[in-house]
A and B are shown apart, each in its own frame.
Chain A
Amino acid sequence: MFVVNNNIVEILKNKLQEHFGSDVSSFEIIKDIPTFTITKNRIVELLRFLHKDKELQFQFLTTLCGMHFPDSDQQFGVVYHLHSFKNNLRIRIKSFTSGNNPEFPSATGIFKAANWMEREAYDFFGIKFSCHPNLKRILNMEDIDFFPMRKDYPLEDQTREDKNDKMFGR
């Protein structure tokens, strides 16, 4: 298994504490990825800081995707995976928001790669990204009026009439 370089993690932790204080919460190392949560309004600032910092240099956005936890009051979230080539370390950043019309600041100003990833998060979860240059659906048909990855969207196709519920044990 990949061994996390604890020195870098300590440096990261201290810098976050210093610059973002209580806006960064629940810092922990899950498996081999340091993970923490940031408040929504400081995402861009945090990403820019991690990108610019000489020691950390998290300059590669590997993943950005939406999350949906319908039972929680902070039901929508976005998760970012950043990679630092300099330190060979990957971190996971989460951010949550409440309400049915989630909106997050766009990371496209820092990472060009965020453009399509944010479009995907919008396509499947309905999460809007303010200041995104071209926020429209990317994979699904443009004329659908639902967000299929939301937990309240039914898993099975609702247009079939030939289903016998008995065969499905319900």
Chain B
Amino acid sequence: MVNYAEAPDGVSGHGYFATTLQKAVGLARKNSIWPLPFATSCCGIEFMATMGAHYDLARFGSERLSFSPRQSDLLMVMGTVAKKMGPVLKEVYIQMAEPRWVIAVGACASSGGIFDTYSVMQGIDRVIPVDVYVPGCPPRPEQIIDGIMKIQDLIGSESLRRRQSEEYKRLLNSYGID
């Protein structure tokens, strides 16, 4: 059985279908997210299960995972991020091209988790902006997929000009990224 992506709202008639550019672009983007897995610990193992045949993340158009920032849209941070790793994570984020989204998978990436100590960053949103947080320690593959679907909703409804907006620039500036 083949699944098609749902068509956006629009006007259709004989031999044509008209919709806004924003919706068409959103449709294309959301169904072909190319993730960049940044897996540092146990959540990364859980993510491998998500990628595997049983949960099959590729169904969502995320067939192309790559450990390079080239052409990737979604930075998936999975696992404990030590303070020493912070600058590395930020550099990877800066190297990604716009538009880019970030998902923090698991308690550690979201808030530092149980590691409330001197060496662990208390949530990755201290160095980079985060779009979706996935709770759990570790989250099950279903939860990771739910997070990805939340990201898809964000991507599908994002305005084409959002990345040029003053608000977005202010957000990045607050992280020292221009």
Give the residues in chain B near A159, CB-CB below 8 Å. 122
B118 partner, pick from A153, A160, A162, beta carbons under 8 A: A153
Given contact pairs A140-B119, A148-B118, A148-B119, A157 touches B84 in the complex (Cβ within 8 A): no
Q: Which residues of A contact B119 (CB under 8 A)?
A: 140, 148
Interface: B165 (CB within 8 A): no
Considering only CB atoms, which chain A residue lies closest to B123 in the complex? A160
**A30 contacts which chain B residues (CB < 8 A)?**
none
Q: Are A141 and B84 in contact (CB under 8 A)?
A: yes
Say if the beta carbon of A156 comes within 8 Å of chain B: yes
Cβ of A3 < 8 Å from any Cβ of B?
no
In the complex, residue of chain A having the shortest beta-carbon distance to the beta carbon of B120 = A157
Residues in A with CB closer than 8 Å to B111 are 162
**A156: B residues at CB distance < 8 A:** 116-117
Secondary structure type dominating chain A contacts: loop
Say yes or no for A155: interface residue by CB 8 A criterion: yes
**Total residue contacts A-B, CB cutoff 8 A:** 25
With both beta carbons as reference points, the residue of chain B lying nearest to A159 in the complex is identified as B122
| Interface class of chain B by DSSP | loop
For the complex, what is the distance from the CA of A156 to the CA of B116, rounded to whole Å? 5
Cα distance A140–B117 when bound, in Å? 12
A160 to B111, CA, bound (A): 10
CB distance from B129 to the nearest CB of A (A): 18
Taken together as a complex, chains A and B put the C-alpha atoms of A140 and B83 apart, in Å, by 9
- In the assembled complex, B112 has its CB within 8 A of some CB on chain A: yes
Q: Which residue of B lies closest to A155 (CB)?
A: B117
CB distance B84 to A160 under 8 Å? Answer: no
- Chain B residues with Cβ below 8 Å from A141 are 83-84
**Interchain CA distance A155-B83 in the complex, whole Å:** 16
- Chain B nearest Cβ from A91, distance in angstroms: 32
Which residues on the A side are within 8 Å of B117 (C-beta)?
148, 155-157
The chain B residue with its CB closest to the CB of A156 is B116
Q: From residue A137, how far is it (CB to closest CB) to chain B in Å?
A: 10
Structural contact, B83 and A160, CB atoms closer than 8 A? no
Residues of B within 8 A of A140 (CB): 84, 118-119
* B176 CB to nearest A CB, Å: 16
Among B111, B116, B120, the most chain A Cβ lie within 10 Å of the Cβ of B116
CA distance A148 to B83 in the complex (A): 13
B71-128 at interface with A (beta carbon < 8 Å):
83-84, 111-112, 116-120, 122
Given contacts A155-B116, A160-B122, 13 further A-B contacts (CB under 8 A): A140-B118, A141-B83, A141-B84, A146-B118, A148-B117, A153-B118, A156-B116, A157-B116, A157-B118, A159-B122, A160-B112, A160-B116, A162-B111
25 residue pairs from A and B, CB less than 8 Å apart: A140-B84, A140-B118, A140-B119, A141-B83, A141-B84, A146-B118, A148-B117, A148-B118, A148-B119, A153-B118, A155-B116, A155-B117, A156-B116, A156-B117, A157-B112, A157-B116, A157-B117, A157-B118, A157-B120, A157-B122, A159-B122, A160-B112, A160-B116, A160-B122, A162-B111
